[in-house]
Amino acid sequence: MAAIFTVDFQICFICIVMCLFSVIFYSLFLVRKTKVGCDLPPSPPSLPITGHLHLLLSLLIHRTLQKLSFKYGPILHLRIFNVPIVLVSSASIAYEIFRSQDLNVSTRNLPMTNESSVFFGSSGFITAPYGYYWKYAKKIIVTKLLGPQALHRSRCIRADEVKRFYSNLLDKAMKKETVDIGEEAMKLINNVICKMLMGRSCSEENGEAEKVRGLVTESDAFLKKFVLAGIFKKLGVSLFKKELTGYSRRFDVVLETILVECEEKVSENHEVTDMVDVLLEAYGNKNAEYNITRNHIKSLFADIFVAGIDTSTHVIQWTMAEIINNPNILEKLIEEIDSVVGKTSLIQETDLPNLPYLQAVVKEGLRLHPPTPVLIRTFQERCEIKGFDIPEKTTLVLNAYAIMRDPDFWVDPEEFKPERFVNSSKSGLEEEIREECLKYIPFGCGRRGCPGSNLAYIFLGTAIGVMVQCFDWRIKGDKVNMNETAGAVTLTMAHPLKCTPVPRTLTLELGDL
């Protein structure tokens, strides 16, 4: 909270200074320059010099941008100082961009604080330009961690952790304790991702797991500064450099300890099984396909922790809150789970394909509450979209939140109605290709779309499935408060979901833990 306040103070200060400069410069020098033959998308009124900066500094940016598109149109040209931005808020324009320009927008062009930082440095995966390193790392991520075969191999890890998740909740239920759903979900996901990456979970005993969870939770405040640094370029980088570098250094210390332990394990067992083993084998091997550095490995881990843990945790909270606020949906879910899974075994990820209503609830949770509401890419080259000229190096801001609530494509877009997804395919892609639109994008799109979507569906389905199958949930008051945190980059509940589990009458056979 304090961090957000500090940033907002800095933002206000920058705004005021820039506005003052704007007025002086405007009256002294500004002669409107328009490029001949250049048909840019329409542009809402802007301030001189700073352009549309004030809009992008809003506390609920996805909503401000949504309102802007309602008023001025689905494709807009914005400007921050001299940085050109194209804001897209429509499913059909998103479709055209990814159909004809996917490669052109496959780089994010985010700023770099410090070459050697594990976070926001030059070795990151999320920040990597589309090129040789990105392709190499993506291949390892798919074959060793997130592709269908890798997910099949790691099934037992998740089955064990889902049982542990259930046991923790049961323990709290027996003690009549309140559960912070986000906290429990984060423990589950953190343990699974650590075990899938390196064959072991982060230790609770020496506080390692707590440190990783703390760094992931903190990431939002730093992501915000990172995005702002991107907008302000050199000024922004120097403004936030100290804090960003400090955060990155703390991440580095934890990841270095983890890596050293992994190296010891490989040298003892001489086995290359997990993703970390493959990376360590390539590290220092001059004949490897790509000469990765230690920083590449740590940055990749940091990216996967932040991209995978925080996002899934938020969606689990939002979706559970929607379920609790809609008792008829809860009833239908219980009916489906009881009839498919029964009352003697705990729900497994292998049950998910047979639970279409649970899948529909998860999809609807992602539609209304996408953890990454605004996606950022860069047009590397000049191109034409819907007859408009898009100059090279224009930043693309895709408002996924607005697209997934677009009244032209969704009936009752603001309502939580899982029924809309019953009988649709998991991705809904066939339907979208037929309709020439891209209206469902919680995981982004194209070659830089989320590689963790299949794992995310498993996390969401099993965690929500267990909570619904095994417990009734009591909350204070009639309804869960669904307000969003102002100023966060990730879509976060303003009041984290806390409720008390009451065990349902089941006779589960869990086997060993």
Contact residues toward ligand HEM (CB under 6 A) are 125-126, 146, 193, 303-304, 307-308, 311-312, 315, 370-372, 375, 442-445, 448-452, 455-456
- Residue 41 or 371: the one with the smaller Cβ distance to ligand HEM is 371
In 74-226 the beta strands, taken as DSSP E runs, fall at: 75-80, 83-88, 179-180
CA distance 322 to 330: 9
How near is the Cβ of 6 to ligand HEM at its closest, in Å? 27
Nearest to 292 by CA among 137, 476, 131: 137
- Residue 312 or 378: the one with the smaller Cβ distance to ligand HEM is 312
Q: Is 46 helix (H, G, I), strand (E, B) or coil?
A: coil
- Residue 371 or 465: the one with the smaller Cβ distance to ligand HEM is 371
Answer yes or no: is 194 a known binding residue: no
Residue owning tokens 């267990």: 466
For residue 381, give both structure tokens.
């080259």
Residue owning tokens 């074959």: 143
Handedness of CA 254, 255, 259, 260 (dihedral sign): negative
In 107-206 the beta strands, taken as DSSP E runs, fall at: 179-180
CA distance 143 to 418: 32
- Residue 77 or 195: the one with the smaller Cβ distance to ligand HEM is 195
How near is the Cβ of 373 to ligand HEM at its closest, in Å? 9
- Per DSSP, the residues of 227-292 read HHHHHHTHHHHHHHHHHHHHHHHHHHHHHHHHHHHHHHHHHHH----SHHHHHHHHTT-TTSSS--
- Residue 316 or 346: the one with the smaller Cβ distance to ligand HEM is 316
For residue 224, give both structure tokens.
């915000």
* AA letter at 484: E
CA distance 436 to 99: 9
How near is the Cβ of 308 to ligand HEM at its closest, in Å? 3
CA angle 469/474/480 to nearest 5° reads 105
Nearest to 349 by CA among 507, 499, 148, 142: 148
Strand order in the sheet with 75-80: 75-80, 83-88, 394-399, 374-379
Q: CB nearest ligand HEM: which residue? A: 444
How far does Cα 412 stand from its chain's mean position? 25
How near is the Cβ of 56 to ligand HEM at its closest, in Å? 18
- Residue 403 or 450: the one with the smaller Cβ distance to ligand HEM is 450
For residue 23, give both structure tokens.
């007025």
How near is the Cβ of 329 to ligand HEM at its closest, in Å? 19
How near is the Cβ of 317 to ligand HEM at its closest, in Å? 11
Q: How far is CA 172 from CA 176, 395, 397, 471, 511, in A?
A: 6, 47, 43, 11, 20
How near is the Cβ of 219 to ligand HEM at its closest, in Å? 13
Q: How many CB atoms lie within 10 A of CB 485?
A: 17
How near is the Cβ of 447 to ligand HEM at its closest, in Å? 7
Nearest to 419 by CA among 366, 340, 326, 357: 357
How near is the Cβ of 61 to ligand HEM at its closest, in Å? 15
How near is the Cβ of 452 to ligand HEM at its closest, in Å? 2
- Residue 98 or 232: the one with the smaller Cβ distance to ligand HEM is 98
- Residue 22 or 195: the one with the smaller Cβ distance to ligand HEM is 195
Let me know: does 464 contact 321? Beta carbons within 8 Å. Answer: no
- Residue 99 or 176: the one with the smaller Cβ distance to ligand HEM is 99
Let me know: does 491 contact 401? Beta carbons within 8 Å. Answer: yes
* AA letter at 471: F
- Residue 68 or 145: the one with the smaller Cβ distance to ligand HEM is 145
Task: Detail the residues annotated as belonging to a binding site.
Answer: 450
Task: Detail the residues annotated as belonging to a binding site for heme.
Answer: 450
